């Protein structure tokens, strides 16, 4: 029926699905009524045990699951396999109770008892065979891995047939027991091969499948592991410690029920819960249960045998076993948790462990440059991503602050699978970008982890941004301090050079004139006594030389600070040197006027030396509380990027900067040069007016 599902219509599929459930429930109710009303003559050792009832409940769960899934997904072969399993196990339960009733009741009251036995054996073999062999081969999508696995289905059908014939052949005729043994001898190794093939199929599907299929397989594997853990613990406790408890029957029933429940979640809502955490906890608790059981067996049974306690209860050994478990429990639990994390998550931790670890690191004394790479690493470890980046927004533009792994390039938002906005007090501070392997989706817990990390990272990113801005400001201040120191050194050097120039000009100019005047005055005084006429001519020459000395001193004074600038201002003092256009120009602080005047003179000297210009003009303008000047020529020009700044240009920059202004040079080859300055009309602190 399961392999014909591909051609079953939706309506017929629903009829068959719910019909199988009705038949299964009918068999379950019939078996339950017969078990409750068995004849009193039935021996106690032949009466149904709790195991039979548990299998009936499991069968009913499979039937319900199969009917529900098949009615909604009539083409899903896993649903029809669940119907077959449930129907087969309930048929086995009915086949186990009805023959007992028929055997110990009045003859003819319950006919066809042997037929019920045969049907029960057939249902049991089909139900168990489909559950242990065919279901693993087809789970979770109802298709084989490839056509090469198809012969296993035929082998499974043949093996079930051989087991059925071999089981019932010996019971029908004692003379056929030899043939039955041969058939069972053939079927047994075949069954082992099929079981191994089913496990191999699950392993291959898990390795080859995508993230969705892996989640489905994890639910199925988790259910199987739960069943195996309960069975192992029960067998150890029963066979070794001789402990018999109704608790084990209940635990086995719950474990078997996990199979249909796990399949239902895997097929319908494989992401209903975070299965990784479920498997992780199951492994941890199962391993701890095995550890505790092993300690009790080793101490109570093993040591008890050595001291010949003969199976009697020994309170001292029980106390020793309890003490050993109490002492070793915490170290063993930690090791088991690490092993479970390694097995389930590989190299990454559980998402909540990653979040907790990051919270502790943020709360600790870690520097910001350590926190951001750690945040990127937590994103990778907690979500299983291949790369994650932390972006900080500065001046509206995102800047990659950290990326994990270190060798990876920063992951931009448009290339990421998930982008989490980081906000603090309503302000967007940055983003967290994450990318997983192709086709691997994010689980709900991973989505929650990403949003929780984004919420925690708000204060961190704000601190990092403020720290970065402070460091940038400190670097700017340090650079300004270095430039100020260099500027002051240049100013001092320029002042020293100017003093030397003045000293040289005074020595070579005015001083020589005055020395010559003094000599000629003595000579004129001598001539006036001896030859008055020659003395008169000498005095006239002295008058002319005195005028030259005065003019030399005036020129020196103008170089130091021109009187026209002091008395009439910028426009009047600059007009003798070039064409001046002025707009709104008045009188200003002497330091401001001196800075503009001497910068213009320096620019005019540079134009005269290098520009080969036919026209040079000076533009002066007062605008928005600033004094602007520009010296513009139509000379040959130059490329500022390829020309080394001269000492004169540097002096101009230093002079303008000393009063809080800025200087700019614009030039292109063949298009002239413009030297312009912008000075605030209010002097900065520390500049004397």
Three state DSSP letters for 234-269: HHHHHHCCCCCCHHHHHHHHHHHHHHHHHHHHHHHC
Residue 550, CA atoms < 13 Å, CB-side half-sphere = 6
pLDDT of 598 reads 86
Say yes or no to pLDDT of 686 above 50: no
From residue 33, alpha-carbon distances to 26, 36, 114 in Å are: 11, 5, 19
Asked whether the beta carbons of 443 and 384 are under 8 A apart, the reply is: no
Which range (70-79, 282-291, 646-655) has the least confidence? 282-291
**What's the CA gap between 432 and 452, in Å, rounded?**
11
The owner of tokens 């023959």 is 99
pLDDT, tens digit, for every residue of 471-499? Answer: 778 888 888 777 777 766 666 566 656 66
- Which carries the bigger pLDDT value, residue 133 or residue 353? 133
pLDDT of 278 reads 55
CA-wise closest residue to 271 among 79, 82, 83, 448: 448
What is the mean predicted confidence (pLDDT) over 438-465?
76
Asked whether the beta carbons of 5 and 67 are under 8 A apart, the reply is: no
Alpha-carbon 457 to chain mean position: 12
Which range (274-283, 381-390, 559-568) has the least confidence? 274-283
Sequence-ordered strand ranges (E) for 329-484:
387-394, 397-404, 418-424, 427-435
Neighbour count for residue 653 (Cβ, 10 Å): 20
Say yes or no to pLDDT of 361 above 60: no
**What's the CA gap between 213 and 496, in Å, rounded?**
85
CA-wise closest residue to 437 among 159, 113, 209: 209
Which range (55-64, 193-202, 483-492, 640-649) has the least confidence? 483-492
Number of H helices, E strands in the chain: 21, 9
Say yes or no to pLDDT of 339 above 50: yes
pLDDT of 676 reads 94
Q: What are the phi and psi torsion angles at 418 (to 5°)?
A: -135, 140
**This model's pTM is above 0.95:** no
pLDDT of 674 reads 93
Structure token digits, residue 10: 């939706």
pLDDT of 5 reads 42
- Which carries the bigger pLDDT value, residue 629 or residue 7? 629
pLDDT of 619 reads 95
- Which carries the bigger pLDDT value, residue 589 or residue 8? 589
The owner of tokens 């002497």 is 590
Say what percent of the chain tops pLDDT 90: 5
Residue 136, CA atoms < 13 Å, CB-side half-sphere = 22
pLDDT tier, 3 (very low <50, low <70, confident <90, very high otherwise): very low
Residues sharing a CB contact under 8 Å with residue 680, sequence separation 6 or more, in sequence order:
625, 626, 627, 659, 660, 661
Structure token digits, residue 608: 């005269």
Structure token digits, residue 85: 């399993």
pLDDT of 678 reads 93
Say yes or no to pLDDT of 591 above 80: yes
What is the mean predicted confidence (pLDDT) over 273-301?
61
Which range (70-79, 136-145, 287-296, 677-686) has the least confidence? 287-296
pLDDT of 311 reads 45
Say yes or no to pLDDT of 668 above 80: yes
Residues sharing a CB contact under 8 Å with residue 180, sequence separation 6 or more, in sequence order:
165, 166, 167, 169, 170
Query: Helices 50-72 and 10-36 sit at what angle, rounded to 10 degrees?
Result: 170
- Which carries the bigger pLDDT value, residue 585 or residue 248? 585
pLDDT, tens digit, for every residue of 389-440? Answer: 988 887 667 888 888 888 888 888 888 888 888 887 778 888 889 888 776 6
What is the mean predicted confidence (pLDDT) over 543-554?
70
Structure token digits, residue 282: 């199951």
pLDDT of 1 reads 41
pLDDT of 7 reads 43
The owner of tokens 């010559």 is 516
pLDDT, tens digit, for every residue of 598-641? Answer: 889 889 888 888 888 889 999 999 988 899 999 999 988 888 87
The owner of tokens 């052949």 is 169
Q: Please classify residue 103 by burial: count the beta carbons closer than 10 Å to its beta carbon, then call 0-12 exposed, 13-18 middle and 19+ buried.
A: middle
Q: What is the mean pLDDT of the chain?
A: 76
- Which carries the bigger pLDDT value, residue 170 or residue 163? 163
Say what percent of the chain tops pLDDT 70: 70
What is the mean predicted confidence (pLDDT) over 544-563?
68
What is the three-class DSSP state of 143?
coil
CA-wise closest residue to 82 among 184, 165, 2: 2
Neighbour count for residue 228 (Cβ, 10 Å): 12
**What's the CA gap between 449 and 382, in Å, rounded?**
8
Asked whether the beta carbons of 416 and 439 are under 8 A apart, the reply is: no
What is the mean predicted confidence (pLDDT) over 112-132?
86
Largest CA distance in the chain: 187
pLDDT tier, 360 (very low <50, low <70, confident <90, very high otherwise): low
Neighbour count for residue 687 (Cβ, 10 Å): 14
pLDDT of 2 reads 41
CA-wise closest residue to 52 among 4, 6, 97, 9: 97
pLDDT of 372 reads 79
Question: What is the full DSSP assignment across 548-562?
Answer: HHHHHHHHHHHHHS-
Does residue 637 come out as left (phi exceeding 0), alpha (psi in the -120 to 50 range) or beta?
left
Asked whether the beta carbons of 594 and 561 are under 8 A apart, the reply is: yes
**What's the CA gap between 625 and 619, in Å, rounded?**
17
Q: What share of the chain is helix, strand, coil (3-state, %, to 5)?
A: 70, 10, 20
Which range (52-56, 448-452, 588-592) has the least confidence? 52-56
What is the mean predicted confidence (pLDDT) over 182-201?
83
């Amino acid at each position: 029926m399961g392999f014909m599902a591909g051609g079953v219509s939706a309506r017929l599929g629903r009829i068959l699905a719910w019909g199988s459930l009705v038949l299964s429930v009918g068999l379950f109710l019939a078996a339950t009524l017969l078990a409750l009303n068995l004849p009193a003559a039935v021996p106690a050792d032949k009466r149904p045990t709790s195991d039979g009832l548990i299998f009936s409940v499991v069968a009913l769960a499979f039937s319900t699951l199969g009917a529900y899934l098949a009615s909604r997904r009539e083409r899903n072969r896993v649903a029809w396999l669940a119907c077959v399993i449930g129907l087969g196990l309930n048929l086995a339960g009915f086949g186990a109770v009805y023959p007992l009733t028929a055997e110990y009741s009045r003859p003819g009251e319950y006919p066809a008892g042997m037929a019920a036995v045969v049907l029960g054996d057939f249902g049991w073999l089909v139900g168990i065979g489909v559950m242990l062999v065919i279901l693993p081969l087809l789970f979770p999508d109802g298709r084989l891995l490839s056509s090469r696995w198809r012969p296993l289905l035929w082998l499974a059908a043949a093996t079930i047939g051989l087991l059925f014939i071999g089981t019932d052949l010996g019971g029908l005729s004692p003379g056929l027991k030899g043939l039955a043994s041969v058939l069972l001898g053939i079927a047994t190794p075949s069954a082992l091969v099929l079981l191994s093939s089913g496990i191999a199929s699950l392993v291959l599907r898990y390795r080859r499948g995508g993230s969705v299929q892996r989640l489905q397989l994890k639910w199925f594997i988790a259910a199987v592991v739960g069943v195996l853990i309960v069975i192992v613990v029960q067998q150890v406790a029963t066979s070794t410690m001789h402990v018999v408890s109704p608790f084990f029957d209940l635990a086995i029933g719950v474990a078997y029920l996990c199979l249909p429940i796990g399949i239902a979640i895997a097929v319908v809502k494989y992401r209903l819960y975070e299965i990784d955490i479920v498997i992780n906890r199951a492994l941890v608790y199962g391993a701890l249960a095995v550890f505790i059981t092993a300690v009790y067996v080793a101490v109570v049974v093993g040591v008890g045998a050595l001291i010949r306690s003969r199976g009697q209860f020994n309170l001292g050994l029980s106390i020793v076993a309890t003490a050993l478990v109490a002492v070793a429990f915490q170290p063993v639990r930690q090791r088991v948790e690490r092993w479970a994390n390694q097995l389930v998550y590989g190299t990454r931790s559980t998402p909540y462990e990653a979040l907790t670890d990051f919270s502790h690191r943020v709360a600790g004394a870690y520097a910001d440059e350590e926190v951001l790479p750690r945040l990127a690493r937590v994103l990778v470890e907690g979500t299983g991503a291949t790369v994650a980046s932390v972006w900080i927004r500065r001046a509206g533009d995102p800047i990659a602050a950290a990326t994990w792994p270190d060798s990876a390039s920063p992951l931009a938002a448009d290339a990421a699978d998930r982008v989490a906005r980081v906000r603090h007090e309503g302000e967007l501070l940055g983003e967290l970008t994450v990318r997983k392997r192709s086709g691997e989706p994010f689980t709900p817990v991973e989505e929650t982890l990403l949003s929780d990390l984004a919420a925690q990272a708000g204060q961190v990113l704000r601190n990092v941004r403020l720290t970065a801005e402070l460091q940038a400001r400190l670097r700017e201040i340090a650079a300004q301090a270095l430039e100020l120191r260099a500027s002051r050194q240049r100013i001092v050097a320029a002042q020293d050079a100017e003093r030397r120039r003045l000293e040289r000009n005074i020595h070579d100019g005015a001083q020589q004139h005055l020395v010559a005047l003094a000599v000629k005055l003595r000579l004129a005084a001598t001539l006036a006594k001896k030859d008055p006429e020659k003395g008169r001519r000498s005095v006239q020459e002295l008058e002319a030389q005195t005028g030259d000395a005065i003019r030399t001193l005036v020129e020196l004074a103008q170089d130091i600070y021109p009187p026209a600038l002091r008395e009439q201002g910028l426009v009047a003092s600059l007009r003798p040197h070039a064409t001046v256009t002025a707009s709104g120009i008045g009188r200003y602080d002497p330091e401001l006027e001196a800075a503009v005047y001497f910068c213009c003179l320096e620019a005019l000297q540079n134009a005269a030396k290098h520009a080969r210009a036919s026209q040079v003009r000076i533009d002066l303008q007062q605008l928005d509380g600033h004094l602007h000047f520009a010296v513009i020529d139509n000379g040959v020009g130059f490329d500022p990027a390829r020309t080394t700044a001269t000492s004169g240009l540097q002096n101009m920059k230093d002079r303008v900067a000393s009063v809080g202004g800025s200087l700019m040079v614009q030039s292109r080859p063949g298009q002239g040069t413009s030297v312009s300055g912008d000075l605030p009309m209010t002097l900065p602190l520390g500049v004397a007016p």
